[in-house]
Amino acid sequence: MQTFQFLSVAVLALVASASASSHSINVINNCGSPTTVQLPGHGNFGAGSRTINGDVRGGIAQACSDINGVGCTSVEFSLVDGVSSADITLIPPHKFDHPASFTLDNGKTGATCSNANCGPDNAFYKSTDYTAQRQVNGPNSSIRIQFC
Ligand SMILES: *[C@@H]1O[C@H](CO)[C@@H](O)[C@H](O)[C@H]1NC(C)=O
């Protein structure tokens, strides 16, 4: 009985969080390579525009076929009801393979990494390169990602 009540509460919490916010994710790839987008808890996708209901934590996108972005320039993002953040990562096993850029909330902030030496203001080379991170605040944050 107690287990059932706990589950009911958990399900209600999930439903509540799912209706609380929605996030537009638009991934454009002009590189001519495959696109992989991993949205934990929501599925794996290719290029294109979609709206996700609920939080997206630990999302990652790249212009290569490796769903985890191994050997690729990857854009990492978390879109939540609150402070959302995104960055370009070149931390190994990621590696510059294509130019990448993103903007949050229709251009409010963003970053561009055009070459392997784009620097820590634009991409993470090591985990302490916080200057590469971008943030926005609000319930329905969105991201536009472009490769090449
Ligand atoms: C955020 O999105 C949810 C779900 O689509 C909507 O109900 C809500 O009104 C939106 N909030 C704002 C501030 O736009």
Domains of the chain, by residue range, sit at 22-147
Per-residue confidence (pLDDT) for residue 9, from 0 to 100: 45
- Burial state string for 60-84 with b = 16 or more CB within 10 A and e = fewer than 16: bbbbbebeebebbbbbbbbbbbeeb
Q: How far is CA 27 from CA 3, 56, 68, 100, 101, in A?
A: 41, 15, 16, 11, 10
Dihedral, CA atoms, 110, 115, 120, 124, nearest 10 degrees? 80
- Strand order across the beta sheet in which 143-147 lies: 48-53, 22-29, 143-147, 100-104, 109-113
How far, in Å, is the centroid of ligand 1 from the Cα of 24?
A: 12
pLDDT at site 3: 44
Residue 141's pLDDT is: 97
Q: Does domain 22-147 have CATH number 2.60.110.10?
A: yes
Find out whether the beta carbon of 17 lies less than 6 Å from any atom of ligand 1.
no
Task: Say what the pLDDT of residue 18 is.
Answer: 46
Please give the distance, rounded to the nearest whole angstrom, from the Cα atom of residue 140 to the centre of ligand 1.
6
Walking along the chain (148 residues) 10 residues at a time, the average pLDDT comes out as 44 50 97 98 98 97 98 98 97 98 98 98 98 97 98
Would the CB of 140 count as within 6 Å of ligand 1? yes
